Structure 1
């Protein structure tokens, strides 16, 4: 069925057409039979791999994992970087009915120990430079059958096992509503939670966002600076390109302006997926002018709300619009988004096809008035099955068909949603709600400011007022005069009573591995 025909089909009808026996790995490998034999699926630091080559590796990985003693429904931790081995092992596990759980390789030993115990995994595959940390973290886990290390596809360890295995011909007969994989939430305000996703959830995000919003096609090459171990990067860098037959470009190292620009100049992506802090850093880089000649078609941003000034400046420079949107680990990918040709920088856009959104007031009633702040709840078919071993939190988040995001938003007359802040970041000043994002956006619009975070702070009378933590552009010196200048600038951009009463200049802001600012750490400082 052509994409034009599918776009006219209600998502419920499309979903009903999915077969009951359904393995998402098989769906993502289907393009290996439809595309030219030389069509590149993955480009990483060691080379490029066609769809046929990736299919062969995935089938061999499925065999290798079964030969190592893993059975369907066993859980496997993947603590590896963005290389060809990630899709090989992730899809190989799913095809064999094994449940992969990708994790950030930079987590602490304590976090690894907690997740190993919490998830009850049977096996671990980890980056070779983390041997001591992983061995120590797993030392008390009685369920662990084995630990293998990633020394590259052609090195000793799991790569050698994969290449020595024979292709596993038939996928395990999983069903669309069966658990395919877990993702651990970023844990920005506490212990990470195991989020369980179904096979069908991946298909929904490909259909609803990748195809119906971004218009991804097989001629695209997608580079996601956001890493594969979390939801946004997993869609951008694996399920979306594989779902449409595009090429995925991987950067295994930390995405700095230099490393990102270098990779784009050699691989020529048409689609770039980043986070707001990276877009800001790219614009502040001495090499920013090089971005204009990269030939980007479109970009995406998520993780944090994109300041409008950053979005406009990046599009003016590159000619590529940034499709800013809101997603979550619980919903697997983006469910609110701007659209090509219908972008309002500063907003998170409108509901993605197949999703519904509402705002609730403090009493749980639906907010009907425009420009009124409420808690955002969303309904869609990619919602997770729940949190592992966290019944109360599952009940608080997944309420019937609606998922409670914990984000505060307002909606304008045209139906565009505007981020106000996390529920626990909002503050009342002089009896009125203040959105930290609104104040942060005003600060970032100043040419001397690179990043900003705003949190509630008590004055000498214990009254709540905004406090700003500011990262300045390179070579800008922090002075008392600059503080006064920034405060006056904010008063001109927003209601005067919203300006930050205190401004603290810092070298960097605390962030999660996914690029979200950890405002709770600033509140506690």
Structure 2
């Protein structure tokens, strides 16, 4: 059964993740390092209180939404926990969306206040005056001469704030799904959800400690990044390094080296990009690095092994979701088995079922269901999608898996990405992993394509490493390479070389776009 921590009936997440550290003597310790400065736990607590007072002064009521379109920096945790502390509901959103997307999110969430980074204002400016629910806009960073920046507005507020009498079961925050298969859905999480992930994964699997310095390439608006660089370090009193810019290999390695980070969180695409950069060596990063984590997409076995050889640190591959808030299935330190996603995180239960909801036979492929204490309770204003995803204590992940005899889970692909070739299910990830093991391949994505007889066969889109030329000979070489490693019917019948693969902001390959091309 899922393991629920015993929380007091009166509970507010800001008290645990921020205020507690002052009482426990960590006020002078550095909590956050961003592109502009270093902030102690006392400074963070004061800024959270000022954010809460600012929102209260604007008339924000408990349970009202506050949309956060903020680049990673100190204002993100300040506004997030400031809203939660007064009982309001922060709604962090992807900072790489379009104006049309933001219009939908403002209307769907009915947010009364928008906190936005100045660099993103051009996306919001055309739609702000048309919003039926939005009352106030707060701009972080650079602002027009006629606008008072968020930092100045916060400085005008008291740094003392009474905590709202919330419970662990109050709605605490929303996270919108990526919307890769339709409009984004607002997953509603509770005040008590974050501490469960911080204890069950952050402490019991990752082993995060107070002396850690962490850096996450995944941004704070993403469920994965929020745990990595905000709730996990703030749970144990560690230090988080935040970066506003895009996480290129060079930018990532600079942060790791400059701050001597001990924990790094990335995604498979980024790990592959760092390994492909011939200018990056072990000395390019941190001498204190002791943990690396990957999620967002399944980690190809070859990438994990090469990373360990170069940096001497294993990558803990895991899977989580917006709905479950963070990783619920993961490899363990000292017990990494590349090519698998490991075992269930303590406190979470897993099942693999067929299309009728029945358990699959040992070694069979089915859909993964998860039950755990950090699950969202529903999607906002979307009963049909909520009923399809949440089944009592169980949540559908949309991922296909199989389980080995000794209990390890092997990823097979998203449910809507699976291929049926010659009447047999084929995992696109298995074919992609085989292709990625070739020394000339940087990335691969496999989708279904119909042949002249209207039968489904695998087609591969390949991104080659720098300096490698694409030709028919290489295409045939790659097909043979896969045939030698997998069952013959799994090899890609067509190979198309591309400059890049379409991805979400969180690094997931958008195979549906490739299917449209195929």
TM-score, scaled to structure 2: 0.97
Specify the SS of the correspondent of 1:477. Answer: coil
1:449 maps to which of 441, 444, 452:
441
Aligned to 1:523: 515
2:358 maps to which of 346, 356, 365:
365
Provide the C-alpha distance between the structure 2 equivalents of 1:348 and 1:375, rounded to a whole number of angstroms: 15
Shift in alpha-carbon separation, 1:315–1:159, aligned structure 2, 3 A: same
1:346 matches 2:339? yes
Shift of 1:32: 3.0
Provide the C-alpha distance between the structure 2 equivalents of 1:148 and 1:63, rounded to a whole number of angstroms: 14
Provide the C-alpha distance between the structure 2 equivalents of 1:35 and 1:216, rounded to a whole number of angstroms: 19
Instruction: Say if 2:316 and 2:336, in contact at 8 Å, map to a contact too.
Output: yes
1:111 maps to which of 101, 107, 112:
101
Q: Which runs of 5+ in 2 are unaligned?
A: none
User: What aligned pairs does 1:265-276 form with structure 2 within 5 A after superposition?
Assistant: 265-276=257-268
Specify the SS of the correspondent of 2:416. Answer: coil
User: What aligned pairs does 1:12-161 form with structure 2 within 5 A after superposition?
Assistant: 12=3, 15=5, 17-29=6-18, 30-151=20-141, 156-161=148-153
Provide the C-alpha distance between the structure 1 equivalents of 2:207 and 2:120, rounded to a whole number of angstroms: 39
Provide the C-alpha distance between the structure 2 equivalents of 1:387 and 1:11, rounded to a whole number of angstroms: 21
Aligned to 1:435: 427
1:178 maps to which of 170, 179, 195:
170
Specify the SS of the correspondent of 1:177. Answer: coil
Aligned to 1:356: 349
Which range moves more in the overlay, 476-485 or 281-290? 281-290
1:484 matches 2:459? no
Aligned to 2:192: 200
User: What aligned pairs does 1:243-322 form with structure 2 within 5 A after superposition?
Assistant: 243-290=235-282, 294-295=286-287, 296-322=289-315
Shift of 1:143: 1.2
Deviations 1:243-285 (A, max 9, x none): 1111000111000011111111111110000000000000011
Shift in alpha-carbon separation, 1:378–1:257, aligned structure 2, 3 A: same
Deviations 1:465-510 (A, max 9, x none): 0000000001100010000000000111111110000000000000
Deviations 1:426-455 (A, max 9, x none): 011111110000000000000000000000
1:511 matches 2:503? yes
Provide the C-alpha distance between the structure 2 equivalents of 1:385 and 1:37, rounded to a whole number of angstroms: 34
Specify the SS of the correspondent of 2:201. Answer: helix
Instruction: Say if 1:152 and 1:159, in contact at 8 Å, map to a contact too.
Output: no
1:412 matches 2:404? yes
Which range moves more in the overlay, 68-77 or 132-141? 132-141
Aligned to 1:330: 323
1:493 matches 2:485? yes
Specify the SS of the correspondent of 1:363. Answer: coil
Instruction: Say if 1:291 and 1:317, in contact at 8 Å, map to a contact too.
Output: no
Provide the C-alpha distance between the structure 2 equivalents of 1:367 and 1:139, rounded to a whole number of angstroms: 53
Deviations 1:316-374 (A, max 9, x none): 111111111010000000000000011111111111000000100122111241x2101
Deviations 1:74-98 (A, max 9, x none): 1011111001111111111111111
Provide the C-alpha distance between the structure 1 equivalents of 2:433 and 2:22, rounded to a whole number of angstroms: 44
RMSD: 1.4
Provide the C-alpha distance between the structure 1 equivalents of 2:127 and 2:266, rounded to a whole number of angstroms: 31
Q: Which runs of 5+ in 1 are unaligned?
A: 1-9
Shift of 1:68: 1.7
Which range moves more in the overlay, 230-239 or 23-32? 23-32
Deviations 1:296-330 (A, max 9, x none): 10011000000010011111111111111010000
Specify the SS of the correspondent of 2:209. Answer: coil
Instruction: Say if 1:261 and 1:291, in contact at 8 Å, map to a contact too.
Output: no
Aligned to 1:210: 202
Provide the C-alpha distance between the structure 1 equivalents of 2:273 and 2:127, rounded to a whole number of angstroms: 34
Shift of 1:168: 3.4
Shift in alpha-carbon separation, 1:368–1:432, aligned structure 2, 3 A: closer
TM-score, scaled to structure 1: 0.95
Aligned to 2:385: 393
Provide the C-alpha distance between the structure 2 equivalents of 1:469 and 1:267, rounded to a whole number of angstroms: 37
Shift of 1:290: 4.0
Instruction: Say if 2:197 and 2:326, in contact at 8 Å, map to a contact too.
Output: yes
